[in-house]
Amino acid sequence: MKKLILASSSIHRKKLLRQLKLKFTVIKPNIDESRKKGEEINKFIKRLSYQKAMKVAANNTDAIVIGSDEVALIDGKVLGKPKTVDNAKKQLKSLSGKKIIFKTGICVICISENKIYKSVVNYSLKMKKLSNTQIENYIKNEDMLNCAGSIRIEGLAIGLVEKAEGQDPTSIIGLPLIRLTTYLEKLGYNVI
């Protein structure tokens, strides 16, 4: 069976991939993740996922390489990672009572077989109306400064959500495992 490589520096993607109980290695792709001027969001996410996978695949031509990236959108605007507590407070206040759409790109490449599979998976959350106390408590008790939109759904953020909709709940954490297993099976890499 071919070597499996996750092209990512995300601990969340690594944890998700471990759920499949597959042997894999991780290589950080170190690419420029800037959005091009006027670039449509689905094209942007697909491009980043592809570039991450391709950068690693170029030096691992007989491996199966997985790249992924994610953005959160509210009212058509991209929400990045907050990085600071002040930014997290602003983000969470802006999310209160609104719908957030998470767009997660995935790309699976095997150069030796000349195969590339890529797509974007959408998942949405309708947030509860959040009080200042809820926001403060969430920030104080959750490590979410590196999560798009300050939402760490696999942690306390689940308590901030009124409703969730989508085809693949793992996509919101950063790696759509349902889509991934489909792509791996197309490459003869059976998960179960």
Contacts of 35 (CB under 8 A, 6+ apart): 44, 78
Q: What is the CATH number of domain 4-186?
A: 3.90.950.10
Active-site positions?
A: 69
What integer pLDDT is reported at residue 176 of this predicted model? Answer: 97
What integer pLDDT is reported at residue 148 of this predicted model? Answer: 84
Whether the per-residue pLDDT at 161 is higher than 80: the answer is yes
Mean pLDDT of all residues in 46-74: 96
Whether the per-residue pLDDT at 1 is higher than 80: the answer is no
Per-domain residue ranges of the chain:
4-186
The enclosing H or E element of 124 equals strand 115-127
**Confidence class for position 166, pLDDT limits 50, 70, 90:** very high
Comparing C-alpha atoms, which of 169, 177, 174 is closest to residue 52?
174
The percent of residues in the chain predicted with pLDDT above 90, rounded, is 82
Which has more confidence, 33 or 47?
A: 47
What is the rounded CA–CA span in Å between residue 191 and residue 182?
9
Give me the residues paired with residue 68 across strands: 106
The enclosing H or E element of 161 equals strand 161-166
Mean pLDDT of all residues in 6-20: 93
Mean pLDDT of all residues in 34-57: 95
What integer pLDDT is reported at residue 79 of this predicted model? Answer: 86
What integer pLDDT is reported at residue 177 of this predicted model? Answer: 97
Per the structure block, which two tokens stand in for 85?
A: 């507590």
- Amino acid identity of residue 109, one-letter, is I
Convert the pLDDT of each residue in 101-134 to its tens digit.
999 999 999 999 999 999 999 999 999 999 999 9
The enclosing H or E element of 37 equals none
Comparing C-alpha atoms, which of 161, 168, 165 is closest to residue 98?
161
